[in-house]
Amino acid sequence: MASGDSFSITTPIFYVNDAPHIGHAYTEVAADVLARWNRQSGRDTWSLTGTDEHGQKILRTAVANGVTPKEWADKLVAEAWVPLLQTIDIANDDFIRTTEQRHESVVQAFLQKLYDAGLIYDGEYEGYYCVGCEEYKQQSDLVDGTGEFAGQLVCPIHGRPVEVLKEKNYFFRMSQFQQRLLDLYEAQPDFIQPDSVRNEIVSFVRRGLDDLSISRQSFDWGVRVPWDDSHVVYVWFDALLNYISALGYDPEAADGLFERFWPSNHIVGKDIARFHAVIWPAMLMAAELPVPRRVFAHGWLLVGGEKMSKSKLTGIAPAQITDVFGSDAFRYYFLRAISFGQDGSFSWEDLSARYQAELANGFGNLASRVIAMTAKYCDGVVPESGPVTEAELAVQATVRDALRDASAAMERFAIHEAIAAVWRIVEHLNGYLTEQEPWKVAKDEAQADRLRTILSTALEGLRALAVLLSPVLPKAAQKLWTALGVEGALGALGEQSIPTAAQWGQLPAGTRTVALEPLFPRIEQEPVA
Ligand code: MSP
């Protein structure tokens, strides 16, 4: 099992039936910020993302486009899903595809292990199925359709009619795990977060669990069931295993990455929390493996009050935003403006306003002014501080408190709270400069010592900000870091690690600063919505 000092985080693996929209990018960015924060805090960190390529949904899309499902998946992965990582600046450690051999062999070995343990049997299934969700539905899950689907039962997420399936399937004895799951939720209250999702899952499991159909016979785009090749594995059963196949899990010899990093933290959208907090831990219990460390369900990006989706034509491509505002602003905006765990609405106006007020005027301008004043009044060299006053001690206290509060918030995955805590440094430093008026102090030779103290304090504050903001704004933080003249890349461990960020005096007097281009330049072009 992983030691307490390692941190492993995953995104869901994404269906390759279509290209990503900003809802998918949101999940990616959140997991990436948590990974970068932990990595920079000195933990042995591993982050995983990837693509979910089997199942009926992908098969149908490929057929509709006149290609094989593998050709379709290869194209979408190469042209859309891998490039997304660069578009939004994701520093993942691995990218898993469910069509890779390293994954398929784990699925088969895992299934065989459960079969040998008597936890899989064959039976008949008749019920509703939503191909959009790739999920069997109960009648009580469905709602009445409207418009062209009036009079039919539709999936509440996709708004489309479900299909009725009748098949011979293999079943996993999931019902046997009801009590163990309830015990897990009780013993580990943060296993599912936030509480609203936790409560919903607990009551769902309390109502009783059915066994789960885990194979399909009517099509062949999937991993073959090892003892019966007329069946392929149900796409969710296959997909969930990516979290351990990517770690090289081997039922015969669990070692290496698996030992180092399992159990992981899973970041998922709330629509897929049940798969991760019910089916997945039951599968792991059946295989006698440790359950995940945590399942955190974030909310949806809404358009007109509904989940943004390509199928409803409300999807916005991430590059539409990053081409105009840059990847840092994308990352900042979604994680700052939406409480992580709640739904949120995207608007170009809100994005523009926050870019201007918070990034360009708040943080960017602060950094430019301090570096420019250092050039003008101190020949570009970090000055030696003179005696400090209450005002400087207050800045130091704000940095200390921000680090404490942001760290505590990141432990809970409350990313928006962590950013807000760090932003108090931006606000305090801006207020400090307004009050201290270094441009006036500079005019009085007799106050040269005071000027050095003010600039040295502001520069130290910027150093702490560069460290603490680097998980969210990696590009801007690195530019600032370079401008501060600090040696080494930001994000490397050692003195620049997050736990030591608040220790005052790490930017030695005499360090030569470098001119800084605006971190968040003025936007000339209006985005096309
Ligand atoms: N393939 C499954 C996951 C398997 S994980 C073992 C899947 N894929 S998905 O591509 O449909 O969705 C991936 C993630 O994107 C989900 O967490 C989903 O919640 C998220 N989002 C899709 N649309 C979204 C929004 N409009 N807003 C926020 N997140 C959204 O499900």
What confidence tier does 159 reach under pLDDT thresholds 50, 70, 90? confident
Cα separations in angstroms, 184 against 189, 236, 450: 8, 22, 59
Q: Is the CB of 307 under 6 A from ligand 1?
A: yes
Q: Is the CB of 55 under 6 A from ligand 1?
A: no
Q: Degrees (nearest 5) of the Cα angle 345, 348, 352?
A: 120
Residue type, 96: I
**Cα-to-centroid distance, 28 and ligand 1 (Å):** 10
Q: Which residues are registered as beta bridge partners of 212? A: 172
**Is the confidence at residue 482, as pLDDT, over 70?**
yes
Q: 222: helix, coil or strand?
A: coil
Distance CA 264, CA 150 (A): 43
What average pLDDT does range 367-375 have in this prediction?
Answer: 98
Nearest CA to ligand 1 atom 10: 14
The overall pTM is greater than 0.85 = yes
Atom of ligand 1 nearest to the CA of 12: 5
Look up residue 85 and give its two tokens: 């990582």
Question: Is 307 in the active site?
Answer: yes
Contact yes or no for 502/400 (Cβ under 8 A): yes
Q: Is the CB of 301 under 6 A from ligand 1?
A: yes
Looking at residue 167, its pLDDT comes to 86
**Cα-to-centroid distance, 36 and ligand 1 (Å):** 22
What confidence tier does 486 reach under pLDDT thresholds 50, 70, 90? confident
Counting ligand 1 atoms within 8 A of each CB, the residue from 9, 24, 307 with the most, and so the one to mutate, is 24
Looking at residue 126, its pLDDT comes to 87
Q: Is the CB of 52 under 6 A from ligand 1?
A: yes
Nearest CA to ligand 1 atom 17: 269
Question: Is 378 in the active site?
Answer: no
Q: For the segment 411-448, what is each residue's pLDDT rounded down to a tens digit? A: 999 999 999 999 999 999 999 999 999 999 999 999 99
Nearest CA to ligand 1 atom 5: 12
Q: For the segment 225-279, what is each residue's pLDDT rounded down to a tens digit? A: 999 999 999 999 999 999 999 999 976 665 689 999 999 999 999 999 999 999 9
Cα separations in angstroms, 105 against 40, 220, 259, 444: 34, 17, 19, 75
Question: Is 24 in the active site?
Answer: yes
